[in-house]
Structure 1
Amino acid sequence: MSEHGDQVPGYRMIRMEALPDAPAAALADVEAWQAREAYPNVLGGGGPVFGVAEELETGGWRIVSLFSSAYPQGSRDTMAMTFRERARDAGEAGDTAAQQEWLRMAERLDWEPVNELAVLGRRFRVVRADQFIRMGPTGPEPPRPSDPDPAKVGHGHEYRSRTKGFVIDPFTATGMSEGILRMELLSLVHARGTAPAAVRKDSRRALETHPGGVLLPAEFTAAEYANGGWQPTQMTNPSPQGSRDTLTTYLRVMAPVMEQLDEETRAEYARLADRIDAERCDEIEIDGCRTRIVRVERLVRVGPDGPEGPRPSDPDPELPTAVQEKQLREQGLLDEDRELSEEEAEQRRVAEEQAKEFLRLFEEQRLRREAAESS
């Protein structure tokens, strides 16, 4: 596979095997190969996403959170929450010393932007994943028939993510098509002129520091064709139905309030949402723009010390929670007795009115779906 000959390091290996005893996996491999024909171009699918992983004694790193943070700080906050959950479990088990250690490390994360910590001999790390979308002459790749999509309409949020609990281990065997895709993605770097110099430099450095990689389970988003290109319009969901539900919630609840739609447009958006629900369709036209449910591949790069963490060039604008709170208190913004300015008072009034309207529309949607399910 490389200049290492028979001594290829585990983190650089891509073991591809036929899967004759797993019909579903074999079908997925065939569909992946077909996707190479219909959607031959692989493009970046937005910026990186971050999650939290725990190193295993048996090898590899188990993901203990969703990969849903656009910035590293969101995953640091998740790590702190994970530590507090472990502290609760230790306390219930009567292990006071362990409980205090978990809480001490959680508090450290409240104040410091730390990307890796060892607690009681276990390593935890904020892990980075790049996102990619396959593109063809008709646009981005939609969900494949073999992609799990069991949730009922309106229940996409109940589908358990396949990412949480997934083990990042390059040595795990994969199908032929996924193995080839991994090789393709691992070789990609930002072309000159397509990204800031620091971003491009980091992407080239990653080829050396983290030459291996693992594909996470695919997720899904909605993308809109506008101004000559496709742009994601929501965070990724674990299932196609989750993305459809997010889209219909936007049409029925979010857009009417946030965009101050008139009654005619509200009714049209509601009809589009009803069609998505009835047909479970993956493409629809909204205000003359094509909107499609799109399949998103996510790659975690791996090096000799495990999965890649945040890069220096990754946006990281958020502060640790305790630091944020301290700054707000120093600015007097958390003083409940502080008299609001006229502008602040008006902003609060508008926000309260919007919240009431959101709640009303959410309740309408809930009742509509309950009626549909009982009919």
Structure 2
Amino acid sequence: MSEHGDQVPGYRMIRMEALPEAPAAALADVEAWQARKAYPNVLGGGGAVFGVAEELETGGWKIVSFFSTPYPQGARDTMASTFRGLARTAEDAGDTATQREWLRGAERLDWEAVDEVTVLDRRFRVIRGDQFIRMGPTGPEPPRPSDPDPAKVGHGYEYRGRTTGFVIDPYTPTGMSEGILRMELLSLVHAPGTTPAAVRRDSRRALKTHPGGVLLPAEFTAAEFSDGHWAPTQMTKSSPQGSRDALTNYLRVMAPVMEQLDEETKAEYGRLADRIDAERCDEIVIDGCRTRIVRVERLVRVGPDGPEGPRPSDPDPELPTAVQEQQLREEGVFDGDRVLSDEEIEQRRIAEEQAKEFLRLFEEQRRKREAAEDS
């Protein structure tokens, strides 16, 4: 659908279907429309995220990796890991020439901060996605009934989600509600004074360089209402249960160690975690603050040459792995003969004690869940 009619480039098209044929898709489209009324405001959801996609000969780009890395370098490292996996496959097949090509690509990524690499005529790119949440009078939108949530309590990590393998192709038809949301999100830019000038400038430039876009499958995070606003407290997960499990892991394992909780507070946190497990609830009050599992929409912008990569203003503080290791060696961090200071010795002792306590609490939680599953 476009004011340009049939002459619009494919990457700018948004093809809408009046009603998806599959019942599940039709239900999801209805829920998306209802969300527009209950949660009418669309807000930024925590900054850009990055992943890796491969261009397909048949058109579009297939996501080949985890897509929640907050910095481009994390996606570059993932691309290098992908290349090494392909090298192992070639080695198993006895194809040493192909193995060397993939390893050469991985080694380049170990040393260079490059966002696109072609190996054996296969093109891979680090791509960025903007995150958004819907907000209403009661706060951010929680998971919808149609959002896949198949994992059992404590097994959210087993659900890999729908993002890896997803094909970014604006020409693929979509439901009416998703199509309208795409049009809304594609027109958004940072308002004056809300971000640094470079960030706003890049967002305005993207309207021209990457005017099309595709919505990825939704992900989920926990957000806390504090000091009058909602803020995410964890990285996004592939399912609501994955986010619940991360929250209960914080309550049972992370908080007691990192925050040095007293026994009374630890017991209270444990009861809250038990309630989340028992009810699979999406909202709970922790220390007087509302905490909610929140639905996160993610948009990848697309231009004539495919999906958008990192912008100049995107934070990118991490170095390629080999460069980082070289710098640490030059600083003497890996020097086995260096004598540690008293402060460094104490820091190591504290870290070891914390690690032991993390493991103890983690094993305690694991045994408790296994016992509940067996009963």
Q: Same fold (TM over 0.5)?
A: yes
Residue 280 of structure 2 corresponds to which residue in structure 1? 280
Residue 264 of structure 1 corresponds to which residue in structure 2? 264
Q: How does 1:1-375 map to 2 (within 5 A)?
A: 1-2=1-2, 4-375=4-375
TM-score (norm 1): 0.99
1:50/1:127 contact within 8 Å kept: yes
SS at the partner of 2:6? Answer: coil
Cα drift, residue 2 of structure 1: 4.5
Letter in 2 for 1:204: R
2:2/2:14 contact within 8 Å kept: no
Provide closer, same or farther for how the CA distance between residues 167 and 32 of structure 1 changes in structure 2, counting only shifts above 3 A.
Answer: same
Q: Hey, what's the Cα distance between the residues in 2 that align with 1:64 and 1:256?
A: 36
Letter in 1 for 2:107: E
Letter in 2 for 1:170: P
Aligned-pair RMSD on alpha carbons? Answer: 0.8
1:66/1:161 contact within 8 Å kept: no
2:151/2:241 contact within 8 Å kept: yes
SS at the partner of 2:146? Answer: coil
Letter in 1 for 2:27: L
Cα drift, residue 291 of structure 1: 0.1
Runs of 4+ residues over 6 Å off in structure 1: none
Cα drift, residue 4 of structure 1: 3.6
Letter in 2 for 1:12: R
2:2/2:13 contact within 8 Å kept: no
- The alignment of Structure 1 onto Structure 2 pairs a total of residues equal to 375
Cα drift, residue 335 of structure 1: 1.5
Cα drift, residue 20 of structure 1: 4.8
Cα drift, residue 3 of structure 1: 5.7
SS at the partner of 2:218? Answer: strand
Letter in 1 for 2:302: V
Question: What CA deviation, in whole Å up to 9, does each residue of 1:131-160 have, x standing for no partner?
Answer: 000000000000000000111000000012
Question: What CA deviation, in whole Å up to 9, does each residue of 1:244-274 have, x standing for no partner?
Answer: 0000000000000000000000000000000
Question: What CA deviation, in whole Å up to 9, does each residue of 1:335-359 have, x standing for no partner?
Answer: 2332111110000000000000000
SS at the partner of 1:94? Answer: coil
Q: Hey, what's the Cα distance between the residues in 2 that align with 1:55 and 1:243?
A: 31
Q: Hey, what's the Cα distance between the residues in 1 that align with 2:2 and 2:172?
A: 18
Provide closer, same or farther for how the CA distance between residues 235 and 10 of structure 1 changes in structure 2, counting only shifts above 3 A.
Answer: same
Structure 1: which 5+ runs fail to align?
A: none
TM-score (norm 2): 0.99
Q: Hey, what's the Cα distance between the residues in 1 that align with 2:143 and 2:297?
A: 11
1:55/1:123 contact within 8 Å kept: yes
Structure 2: which 5+ runs fail to align?
A: none
Q: Which stretch of the first structure deviates more once superposed, 311-320 or 89-98?
A: 89-98
Q: Hey, what's the Cα distance between the residues in 2 that align with 1:262 and 1:336?
A: 38
Provide closer, same or farther for how the CA distance between residues 19 and 4 of structure 1 changes in structure 2, counting only shifts above 3 A.
Answer: closer
